[in-house]
Amino acid sequence: MSDSLERIIKAIKPLDEVAMEAARKRQDSLTKPQGSLGRLEELSIKTAGIKADPLPKLKHKAIIIMVADHGVVAESVSLYPQEVTRQMVLNFLEGGAGINVLASHVGARVVIVDMGVIGGFPPLPGLVCKMIDFGTKNMANGPAMSREQALDALEAGIKVVEAEMGKGLDIVGTGDMGIGNTTAASTICAAITGEPIKKVTGRGTGIGDKQLAHKIEVIKRALAVNHPSARDPVDVLAKVGGFEIGGLAGVILAAAAYRIPVVIDGFISGAAALIASGLSPRVKDYLIAAHVSAEPGHALLLNFLGLRPLLNLEMRLGEGTGAALGIFLAEAATRILTEMATFAEAGVSEAQPIPEDTIKKWGHQKSPIF
């Protein structure tokens, strides 16, 4: 493990309990019945703890999309050809993808990172190059990447976050693109959680029953050939992961180290969270699960991490689309905490306890129903 990766992991601290308690007290004093905004209240308190600020503000928002190709596509695990990965990068850059629309809607900038697209790209405005290699190798035949490459992918994610902090970064969402990456995510999920392969493997781009059965067999082969160790998340990443998954794991670790809330998107981001939390269990406290994907392994993965998704919209696009919606809710939650008036500020009467003698009197009265 490199010095900078060790530094980042050591920098991840527990949530700030003092800030959380102050935020909790303020929530209870706002002009509403206590707890009436449900999980938005919880989310604002958690954000206060993450940022060590009882009145956190989420002005600067970014969604980091890591992109890479997968050698396992040679096994016909996807409906789409491999060149779609490259084509979608160009679509992101042109602003034509779903994530561009939703990120614009919530006021988040989109950061596109080439972690290993086959063929590479010339220098393009808006594209960050952190290429590890021209796609991973076919994990059904051997390791997807070397251990050194896995560590390089983690480092790349850390560097992207640190660069974005220079532009202002109060909250980050994770996104992905890479034909074949649900196969990698399913394999990581099975390796780390111990869940049966059939339970964690879904239809990805919309494959039919026969192709799904084939995809499950490919994952079984990958696990049998590579024997990834659940106790060593870098080993899992190297043997059955993807460069973009490693990059996202680095993003998660760096964000936690710098007290930045991380809104994770769907199944691929969840697989990255498994890698990151294996390296530092404290990472889980910094994660906000935007939604639960239609991919069956995602719900199992979130349960393993102890995370409750904010939304269930049956989404499975990836790109960070769910993360954009999660960022919207996180910002709404913090604005309620910081901008809503307290009872004292608004001159509104607070709830009054009912006198004990009145409560006793109720017990002696007969109900008019009877």
Give mean pLDDT, residues 36-58: 98
Q: Return d(Cα 11, Cα 292) in angstroms, integer.
A: 29
Give mean pLDDT, residues 24-46: 97
- Nearest CA among 112, 108, 109 for reference residue 130: 112
| pLDDT mean across residues, the chain | 95
Query: Which residue has tokens 């001159």?
Result: 347
Crossing angle of helices 181-193/243-257, nearest 10°?
A: 60
- Determine the pLDDT at residue 261: 98
**pLDDT tens-place string over residues 210-224:** 999 999 999 999 999
- Determine the pLDDT at residue 269: 98
**pLDDT tops 60 at residue 156:** yes
Q: What domains can you pick out in the chain, each with its CATH number?
A: 61-336 (3.40.50.10210)
Q: Decide: 300 and 199 in contact? Cβ < 8 Å.
A: yes
> Side chain identity at 220, as an amino acid letter?
K
Give mean pLDDT, residues 234-257: 98
Give the confidence band of 306 by pLDDT, cuts at 50, 70, 90. Answer: very high
3-class SS string, 235-303: HHHHHHCCHHHHHHHHHHHHHHHCCCCEEECCHHHHHHHHHHHHHCHHHHHHEEECECCCCHHHHHHHH
3-class SS string, 342-368: EHHHHCCCCCCCCCHHHHHHHHHCCCC
- Determine the pLDDT at residue 366: 55
The two structure tokens encoding residue 347: 């001159």
- For 105, other C-beta atoms within 10 Å of its C-beta total 11
Q: Decide: 240 and 150 in contact? Cβ < 8 Å.
A: no
Q: Return d(Cα 132, Cα 152) in angstroms, integer.
A: 7
Neighbouring residues of 48: CB distance < 8 A, sequence distance ≥ 6: 16, 19, 20, 22, 23, 54, 55, 56, 337
Is 273 buried (19+), middle (13-18) or exposed (0-12) by CB count in 10 A?
A: buried
Q: Decide: 61 and 327 in contact? Cβ < 8 Å.
A: yes
Please spell the DSSP secondary structure of 145-186, one letter per residue.
Answer: S-HHHHHHHHHHHHHHHHHHHTT--SEEEEEEE-TTHHHHHH
- Determine the pLDDT at residue 3: 82
- Determine the pLDDT at residue 349: 81
**pLDDT tops 80 at residue 40:** yes
Give the confidence band of 185 by pLDDT, cuts at 50, 70, 90. Answer: very high
128-158 burial, b at 16+ Cβ within 10 Å, e below that, comes to bebbbbebbbbbbeebbbeeebbbbbbbbbb
* H or E stretch covering 215: helix 209-226
Query: Which residue has tokens 């010339």?
Result: 122
Question: Would you give the end-to-end CA distance of the chain in angstroms?
Answer: 75
Of the candidate ranges 156-160, 335-339, 354-358, 363-367, the one whose mean pLDDT is the lowest: 363-367
Rg of the Cα atoms in the chain: 23
- Determine the pLDDT at residue 364: 63
Total-model pTM: 0.94
- Determine the pLDDT at residue 365: 60
**pLDDT tops 80 at residue 273:** yes
Q: Return d(Cα 356, Cα 247) in angstroms, integer.
A: 60
**pLDDT tops 70 at residue 30:** yes
Max Cα distance, the chain (Å): 83
- Determine the pLDDT at residue 370: 38
Per the model's pLDDT, the better-predicted residue between 368 and 346 turns out to be 346
Known catalytic residue at 319: yes
- Determine the pLDDT at residue 88: 97
- Determine the pLDDT at residue 50: 98
Active-site pick, 195, 295, 319, 331: 319
Give the confidence band of 369 by pLDDT, cuts at 50, 70, 90. Answer: very low
**pLDDT tops 80 at residue 66:** yes
